Amino acid sequence: MLEAVVWGLVQGITEFLPVSSSGHLRIIPDLFGLEPPDLSTSAILHLGTLAAVVAYYRRDVAWMVGGLGRDPAARRMAAMVVVATVPAGIVGLLFSSAIGRFQESASGVGVALVATGVVLFLTRLVGRASGKAEDLTTGNAAVIGLCQALALLPGISRSGMVITAGILRGLSPEESGRFGFIIAIPAILGAGLREFIDLGSASTLSIEVLVATLVAGVCGYWAIKFLIDRLARRSLVPFAVYCVGIGLVTLIWL
């Protein structure tokens, strides 16, 4: 039960904070001598984080879905979400085996974590913009989507890449976070479905997995709120420092 709670905490917190959930799921077992979550647990944990982001942005989701037939702004926002989602889907399909091999290398994950930290530092080099997600151009949405695709590599933070790209393309930090988390919905759903497909009929459901999923959902909701509040007032530099630090620890010790 304790390990299930630990993995629920790790999945919920690192899925949304810009520190790379896949990177942590790779290195924590080696650093602390824990058994990594099996594929069944990992797939079900995605349901917890999916529920968290849908719950937090339920009004945006309802607005986009409900306004597809009558609200041009809702249709445009939904279209930009699709544009930003396509690159990761294509990359995931074409390079899934290469990504899997990359995950086997702790040093590779360490380098990716350091790279994430360096990218997060870039947010300090630009002024504070005021753009809205609804006003994104197709080109800017595609750039953000390409940055999300990079995060398929373990150690590259999805939220970190997307938020940084959004800020660099003229979105305010809060709006960059909002758009980044909304496009996380199809990304997390796709990742979970892929793991369920890989499982076939081997999926198991236990009280430990249910508890871990609940923990992931609650922690994920808190992590989104924490990061959006932080984006409104402060920089991402502490996360950059953390990513560089944990990446160097990985390179030295693993």
One DSSP character per residue, 89-106 reads HHHHHHHHHHHHHHHT-H
pLDDT tens-digit map of 10-33:
999 999 999 999 899 889 988 888
Residue 35 has pLDDT above 70, yes or no: yes
Phi, psi of 131 (to 5 degrees): -65, 150
- Tell me how many domains the chain contains: 1
Q: How far is CA 39 from the centre of its chain?
A: 18
User: Environment class of residue 251 by beta-carbon count within 10 Å: exposed (0-12), middle (13-18) or buried (19+)?
Assistant: middle
pLDDT at 197: 67
Q: Which CB contacts under 8 angstroms, 24+ apart, belong to 54-61?
A: 54/185, 55/217, 55/221, 56/181, 56/221, 56/224, 56/225, 57/178, 57/181, 57/182, 57/185, 60/178, 60/182, 61/182, 61/185
pLDDT tens-digit map of 65-95:
998 878 999 999 999 999 999 999 899 888 8
Residue 253 has pLDDT above 80, yes or no: yes
Give the structural domain span for 77: 2-253
